[in-house]
Structure 1
């Protein structure tokens, strides 16, 4: 009996998208509002947040499907802060639980990025530059830049569906 072997190219792993890192101190809903106003998008908060580790770590996500250009825009928080009780290895006279705040990142390679804007289509470099210029005109954004997704170690975290 003959053995059949199928070889899949890596081209299935690399979906066509543009990824932009945004540094700002705004709340997610305010940033989505300013992006909608500046770029003419219609980002809306999804009903369910991105869920990692069975609800232990969640990231807010805003999405817009542009039917005219067949693109999907996603604005997702890169930072999740969670309050936990610290476990002590020693006994103390005053046995109080201490709360600590743990910080998790959607893309650990970019810990300083506050938000990620993922546009699921391949834009020309001039269109990406136009989007970056529009983002940088928002006074509350400190900086924004394009991220090369091919070098990311945690690119699986960018699969939102």
Structure 2
């Protein structure tokens, strides 16, 4: 009987472009600014991007805009998720229990901890100018900087699969 092997090839992945954005605004405010200045229509996805780590579910807000005219899909996602973790400590007395809270930060792409947001662009045709998009994003005064990220250098590229 013949055996069949399925080979996974990284070349078969959907190509995408990635833009790193440094901005101190909240995610909904950044989506609003991009809608206002770029004529996009980012909407919050019904399901956030979720990961589980150490038994905890980590949620990253995800915004999507589908450009049906040019066949482009844009994803805006936060790189940082801050969580408050409560722990109960008892010293053995009747009323001596104390609750302490510790803030922990989780990252979508841990190798790029200084980035606040990522803009992922998937295009069906190669007619999209990433340079002009970055130039327009950098004109927004609330955004500190935006730049192109080479996806080949990202170790945790699988975290950018949103489907």
Q: Is this a same-fold pair by TM over 0.5?
A: yes
Structure 1's unaligned 5+ residue stretches are none
* RMSD after superposition: 2.2
Distance 2:32 2:158 in 1: 27
Q: Which moved more, 1:145-154 or 1:92-101?
A: 92-101
State the Cα distance separating 1:115 from its structure 2 match: 0.5
1:138-149 map, 5 Å? 138-149=140-151
* Structure with greater strand percent: 2
Matches of 2:147 and 2:42, distance apart in 1: 19
The alpha carbon displacement at 1:10 in A equals 2.6
Task: List, as ranges, runs of 4+ consecutive aligned residues in structure 1 with deviation greater than 4 Å.
Answer: none
> 2 CA distance for matches of 1:116 and 1:7?
30
Q: How many residues align?
A: 158
For residues 7 and 50 of structure 1, what CA distance do their matches in structure 2 show? 28
Deviation at 1:8, TM superposition (A): 4.2
Structure 2 counterparts to residues 12-161 of structure 1, below 5 A: 12=12, 14-53=13-52, 56-86=57-87, 91=91, 94-121=96-123, 127-161=129-163
Give the alignment's TM-score, normalised by structure 1. 0.88
Segments of structure 2 that go 5 or more residues without pairing to the other structure are none
Q: Deviation of residue 138 (structure 1)? A: 0.5
User: Contact 1:23 / 1:113 at 8 angstroms: preserved in 2?
Assistant: yes
Q: Output the CA distance in 2 between the equivalents of 1:57 and 1:153.
A: 19
TM superposition shift of 1:38: 1.4
Change (3 A) 1:152 1:139: same
